Amino acid sequence: MGCVLAGACGSLFGQTASLDDTARLLAGLPVNGPLSTFTQDQRWKGHAAAMDNAWKTKEYFQLGPIATWMGSHAGEYYRSGGTMFYMFSGPDFLYANAFFPNASTYILAGLEPVGQVPDVARMNADTLAANLGALRNSMTTLLVTHYFVTEEMKAALGRGSLTGTVPILYVFLARLGCTVLDTTYVHSPAEGVKITFSHNGRTQTLYYFKTDLSGGNSAFLRWCAARGPGVSLIKAASYLMHGEGFSGVRDFLLGHSTCIVQDDSGIPLRAFNKNWALEFYGRFIPHGEKFGKYDQTALAEIYHRNPPPPELGFAFGYWWQAERGLLILARHK
């Protein structure tokens, strides 16, 4: 396997560090290869302990309950392979995998820069420790709540040499028990990265593209269409698809998804036609100030007329409290 991304492979005492070793070191997991010398440093051990603690909490409150919920409410999609679309995702492979762990191809898209695989083998222990601190800070909001704040991520990663989404994607892959096999830049249909990984004996592919999703039928959406239909996740999407500026990606998802899991910030109810069956779960609580301008009358009426089961069992969307989460499960008939 060659070093396809700049900085993907370095040397430590003449030995080559694998991409998977790099992912595991960043994730705070044991490493057996040449990078294992870093794991003796007390600062790395502190990083590993912090990641272990955050991950156990995430598994208990989020990942486990999501798996249980999807298995009982949308098992056919949860278990099946195929393509998975996650627009406005940033580097959030964590939730893409939580809802659809068996997808053969994940396609994530956002405005965050792609970045590169860090050449940790060429760092000294001080530099690595500083970079790992910045990496943890960049993931804080997602690990504590359930979504990335782009500006926070940019500010945290800007303080170190771990740049863009790739280091974060690596952390999630390693923590989810995946083995990173290959990582390459792609330049079409947009600037992006393709990561091939294995999990439980299966090889799967993860794409992340840095692309503006506003506008109409873009080259990126045409590329996606050639890989569909698929299942889709929409979470903490800032109500962008409620306006016409993002009608292209909205129409794409409606036209190329067999199932859409979303919160109320995704596709507005008025956009779903009679070919969709919608199920509602959790509680509807208006967001007020920041997103109050978006018309949620139809959703409020549904919850008033026939209140869905109030407890999801996990937080979802912009609410960090489990008792406030709202989830819409849309199935194409």
Q: What pLDDT does 188 receive?
A: 94
Q: What pLDDT does 142 receive?
A: 73
Of the pLDDT bands very low, low, confident and very high (cuts 50, 70, 90), residue 1 is very low
Given CA atoms 81, 188, 257, 72 in this order, what sign does their dihedral have?
Answer: positive
**Structure tokens that stand for 299 in this block:** 């959703």
Of residues 151 and 307, more confidently modeled: 307
CA 192, CA 297: separation in Å to the nearest integer?
Answer: 38
Q: What pLDDT does 154 receive?
A: 58
Of residues 215 and 151, more confidently modeled: 215
Write down the domain spans for the chain: 11-332
The CA–CA distances, whole Å, from 170 to 131, 141, 221 equal 14, 17, 25
Is 260 a residue whose pLDDT tops 80? yes
Is 6 a residue whose pLDDT tops 60? no
Q: How many CB atoms lie within 10 A of CB 324?
A: 16
| pLDDT, tens digit, 9 for 90 and up, residues 86-96 | 999 999 999 99
Q: What pLDDT does 215 receive?
A: 85
Average the pLDDT over each of 57-61, 107-111, 155-159 and give the range with the smallest value: 155-159
Average the pLDDT over each of 3-7, 16-20, 276-280, 319-323 and give the range with the smallest value: 3-7
CA 48, CA 208: separation in Å to the nearest integer?
Answer: 26
Q: What pLDDT does 155 receive?
A: 59
Given CA atoms 269, 272, 275, 276 in this order, what sign does their dihedral have?
Answer: negative
Is 10 a residue whose pLDDT tops 50? no
Q: What pLDDT does 146 receive?
A: 61
Is 35 a residue whose pLDDT tops 70? yes
Per the listing, tokens 């820069």 go with: 113
Best-predicted range by mean pLDDT (14-23, 136-145, 152-161, 257-266): 257-266
User: If you average pLDDT over every residue of the chain, what do you get?
Assistant: 88
Q: What pLDDT does 323 receive?
A: 80
Is 13 a residue whose pLDDT tops 70? no
Q: What pLDDT does 71 receive?
A: 95
